[in-house]
Structure 1
Amino acid sequence: MSFHNAQNIEVLNQSVSELGRDINVSFEFFPPNSPAMTSTLWESINRLKALDPKFVSVTYGANSGTRDLTHNIIKQIKHETGLIAAPHLTCIDANRQELKQIATDYWDNGIRNIVALRGDLPPGLNQPDMYAADLVGLLKEVNDFDISVAAYPEVHPEAKNAQADLLALKDKIDAGADRAISQFFFDTESFLRFRDRCAAVGIDKEIVPGILPVSNYKTLCKFSKLTNVKVPNWMHSQFEGLDNDQATRNLVGASIAIDQVKVLSREGVKDFHFYTLNRADLTYAICHTLGVRPK
């Protein structure tokens, strides 16, 4: 390797590690369903909180039992770590009065941030009573929550078409949402085109890219079909032959996520939302490489 090339690589590596000065991160977790998973969750939260995330979110499924679990975890995160904690809230499994009670309880417990979603339709229900835009409006009636909503760069699986999906996002923003967090994606150009289309219809709020560090490629391929996420051919090539090699899969997954953040950062993106799957190691390593480190 020539001295000139070595200098170029050194400058490139230095610029990547200094990205942390210019970007913010947030992390998503899901409620545990066993004592072992509870332990894993808190190990992950306690490790990632050192990176000073803008906020952390906690998902839940469409039933009240899981919602209560999310509710309790959110309160614990806020009171035990001091992090800004944002529960996911859907409007499929609760009426307006119940949703107002939930929102009021969150506010009374110091929770000011919510991720507002329609939620998955249960079998047999084709037309929900409320959509995410309705939920955003309801939450703003209760109090001045900071509200995130979902965006789909590669179009929601149930949307009639891309334009209808885009207008649904605009409805959520117009109802009072403060930002949109995108579904995960791997075609970075598709996210940038989507961001341009958002601007063209008058969406002036931040579109935060959702970043999924891949550790189990087979599971990703199955899930991507359900969520309408395109897995590019080059990813198939990169993960080929690694079915029984977890360590190398992690390195490949981390490299892909780092490249995504690098490209998007050059395009002016400042905030990144990581889908951690309750595991800290891969997300922490990616953030460290990007220069997002404990203060």
Structure 2
Amino acid sequence: MVFQSAQQLENLNQKISELEGDIQVSFEFFPPSNLAMEETLWQSVNRLKVLAPSFVSVTYGANSGTRDRTHAIIKDITQRTTLKAAPHLTCVDASRSELKQIAQDYWDNGIRQIVALRGDLPEGAGKPAMYAEHLVSLLKEIADFDISVAAYPEVHPEAKSAQADLLALKRKMDAGANRAITQFFFDVESYLRFRDRCVAVGIEQNIVPGILPVSNYKTLCKFAGFTNVKIPQWLHRQFDGLDDDQTTRNLVGASIAIEQVKVLSREGVKDFHFYTLNRSELTYAICHTLGVRPASVLK
């Protein structure tokens, strides 16, 4: 095998240990719908909190039941742990006055971070009255929240064009967002090109890559179908024949996520947001391998 350049050889020989202490992580959870799922959630929160994430987020659905569960979980995390908890907040299913009340309640309960999203439109709905950029502005009117917004390296499925989608992100950033968290992806080049395009239009805030550790490939395909995420052929081949082999799927999923983080780290990325799906095992193992470990272990 002939190496084309010294840089290729250096990249190939980069040790995972070089990343130790140089990566910051955050985690996403979703509100449980029953007692068993709540137990699983708390097991995951307690397992991952020792990794000292910059924050943890909890997703938010477009109905009052899910909203209430999100509010409750966020407050519980804030009260029962030292974690910084960031609730998702959407604006398509609430009035401005309701959103202000929710935001004020969060602030009064010591919650300083929010993930601001437009939210999924109800079937048959017309043009929404508010978009994420308006929600960001509203939140900043209430208090100086630390606000994350969504970004789409492979373009939002409803966007008219890639440029229109990029300009929508620029408006959210100009409204006061502190960072963007991307939809999960597997084509690393798509993220890097997207980051370059963000810089070209004047976006200076951090574009944090969203990493999805894959343990269920069929579920991934469903997610990708309605999020406009491209699944490369090499990923299909990686999981081919593993439908009934959960252990191997976990190992393959972990190795893919580790490689993503390694490559992105070489390109200067130091912050990563993990979509945990309320399971800690795979995410914890990935973080451990990448050098993100409890403080007591690193001493």
Task: Classify the TM-score, shorter chain.
Answer: over 0.9
- Percent identity between matched residues is 76
Instruction: Report the counterpart of residue 276 of structure 1 in structure 2.
Output: 276
- Partner-residue secondary structure (3-state), 2:111: coil
- Partner-residue secondary structure (3-state), 1:182: strand
Distance verdict in 2 for CA 1:29–1:220, change over 3 Å: same
Cα deviation code 1:199-224 (max 9, x no counterpart): 00000100000000000001111220
Instruction: Report the counterpart of residue 79 of structure 1 in structure 2.
Output: 79
Q: What is the Cα deviation at residue 12 of structure 1? A: 4.5
Q: What is the Cα deviation at residue 65 of structure 1? A: 1.6
The CA distance in 2 between the partners of 1:20 and 1:225, in whole Å, is 35
**Equivalence map 1:80-119=2 (5 Å):** 80-119=80-119
Cα deviation code 1:169-195 (max 9, x no counterpart): 000000000000000000000000000
The CA distance in 2 between the partners of 1:136 and 1:108, in whole Å, is 18
Q: What is the Cα deviation at residue 47 of structure 1? A: 0.2
The CA distance in 2 between the partners of 1:179 and 1:20, in whole Å, is 23
Instruction: Report the counterpart of residue 204 of structure 2 in structure 1.
Output: 204
The CA distance in 2 between the partners of 1:275 and 1:154, in whole Å, is 17
Instruction: Report the counterpart of residue 28 of structure 1 in structure 2.
Output: 28
Instruction: Report the counterpart of residue 41 of structure 1 in structure 2.
Output: 41
**Equivalence map 1:49-64=2 (5 Å):** 49-64=49-64
Instruction: Report the counterpart of residue 5 of structure 2 in structure 1.
Output: none
Instruction: Report the counterpart of residue 177 of structure 1 in structure 2.
Output: 177
- Partner-residue secondary structure (3-state), 1:208: strand
The CA distance in 1 between the partners of 2:185 and 2:58, in whole Å, is 20
Q: What is the Cα deviation at residue 18 of structure 1? A: 3.8
Instruction: Report the counterpart of residue 253 of structure 1 in structure 2.
Output: 253
Greater alpha carbon shift after TM alignment, 147-156 vs 75-84: 75-84
Instruction: Report the counterpart of residue 67 of structure 1 in structure 2.
Output: 67
Instruction: Report the counterpart of residue 3 of structure 2 in structure 1.
Output: none
Q: What is the Cα deviation at residue 53 of structure 1? A: 0.3
The CA distance in 2 between the partners of 1:24 and 1:196, in whole Å, is 21
Q: What is the Cα deviation at residue 239 of structure 1? A: 0.5
Q: What is the Cα deviation at residue 60 of structure 1? A: 1.4
Instruction: Report the counterpart of residue 293 of structure 1 in structure 2.
Output: 293
- Partner-residue secondary structure (3-state), 2:292: coil
The CA distance in 1 between the partners of 2:204 and 2:66, in whole Å, is 33
Instruction: Report the counterpart of residue 4 of structure 1 in structure 2.
Output: none
Q: Which amino acid aligns with 2:247?
A: A
The CA distance in 1 between the partners of 2:20 and 2:167, in whole Å, is 33
Instruction: Report the counterpart of residue 228 of structure 2 in structure 1.
Output: 228
Q: Which amino acid aligns with 1:60?
A: Y
The CA distance in 2 between the partners of 1:48 and 1:19, in whole Å, is 19
Q: Which amino acid aligns with 2:188?
A: T
Q: How many pairs are equivalent?
A: 286
- Partner-residue secondary structure (3-state), 2:20: helix
* Deviation >6 Å, runs of 4+: none
Q: Does 1:165 align with 2:182?
A: no
Q: Which amino acid aligns with 2:228?
A: N
The CA distance in 2 between the partners of 1:136 and 1:180, in whole Å, is 12
Instruction: Report the counterpart of residue 154 of structure 2 in structure 1.
Output: 154
| TM-score (ref. length: structure 2) | 0.94
Cα deviation code 1:261-286 (max 9, x no counterpart): 00000000010000000000000000
The CA distance in 2 between the partners of 1:122 and 1:262, in whole Å, is 39
